[in-house]
Amino acid sequence: MAYTAADVKNLRETTGAGMMDCKKALDETGDFQKAVDYLRAKGLAAAAKKQSRVAAEGMIAANVKGKLAALVEVNCETDFVAKNDAFQAFAHTAANVAVDANLTTIEELLSAKIANGLTVKDNVSELTIKIGEKIDLRRVAVVKLDGNGMIGSYVHSGKIGVLTRVETDKDINTHDAFKDLVKDLCMQIAAADPKFLNAGEIDETYKAKEAEIYAAQLKEQGKPDAMIPNIVKGKLNKLASEVCLYEQSFVKDPDTTVGKLIEKVAKETGATIKVTKFIKLNLGEGIEKKSENFAEEIAKITGNN
């Protein structure tokens, strides 16, 4: 793989590993994602945690209207603009439009008209001119509920957005315990970052990839080859408790699991309760934040480059 300095920089920001380690990982693997796994295996990166680092400014806005809800991500260049009232108002407007018209793609959302008669795309252009920074409506996610239940939402500091669909066999939306549960589930997803609903959803490809990384980590730590398969098996048995919502420890009470919490509220309300979908957006996920090289800029200006 032919890679650039930007590739090395991106890998370093993603994993937190050193520059030379990142270059070596790209040399050895020839692929960005494989390089991430390589660094994890060498114990040089905690990718599962560090990949959540954002690399762009802006905000995530949420809107829930009955049985339909939306998250939108709007990016800008600086945190200063992300706090601008006009910028934040636009983000919330975009979320409202997505819900009102059930728009599931960016193309549909950009083409939709808002109260001022202009399309969302035209409003992006006007806001860009007004604020003086590039504004990008980057992502939209919509969740729909068909029967009984509730869609919960949670946005943490504009940086993390969560939607959670919780279905029930009867209408218990006014029950305080159920409302608290939906709120807690959204906060759980924001904090604990599950990848699946339950253990049955973990696919074999994901397990195999994690097993390879575990084995490489253990070998790097000097564990005897004969012991590694059993240790890996034990780690895989614990995998569900780390990446599955129902099996995770409840962040507010680590002595119980999310699944047990749902069972408790179901008993209290006399209803069947089931989480059927969740979406989590991290602001700037996958975007490399622009950084200025002042030495290069001065060289360009003075002609000494």
- What residue type is 214 in one-letter code? Y
- In this predicted structure, the answer to whether residue 8 has a pLDDT above a threshold of 90 is no
CATH 3.30.479.20 fits 55-144, yes or no: yes
Average pLDDT of the segment spanning 271-300: 74
* pLDDT tens figures, 95-131: 999 999 999 999 999 999 998 888 999 998 888 888 8
Q: What is the pTM of this model?
A: 0.72
CA atoms of 8 and 26, how far apart (whole Å): 8
- In this predicted structure, the answer to whether residue 259 has a pLDDT above a threshold of 50 is yes
Pairing of strands 160-168, 249-250: unpaired
- In this predicted structure, the answer to whether residue 88 has a pLDDT above a threshold of 60 is yes
- Cite the residue boundaries of each domain of the chain with CATH code 1.10.8.10: 1-53
CA atoms of 167 and 278, how far apart (whole Å): 12
Fold type of domain 1-53? Helicase, Ruva Protein; domain 3 (1.10.8)
Average pLDDT of the segment spanning 32-40: 83
Question: Which one is predicted more confidently, 50 or 205?
Answer: 205
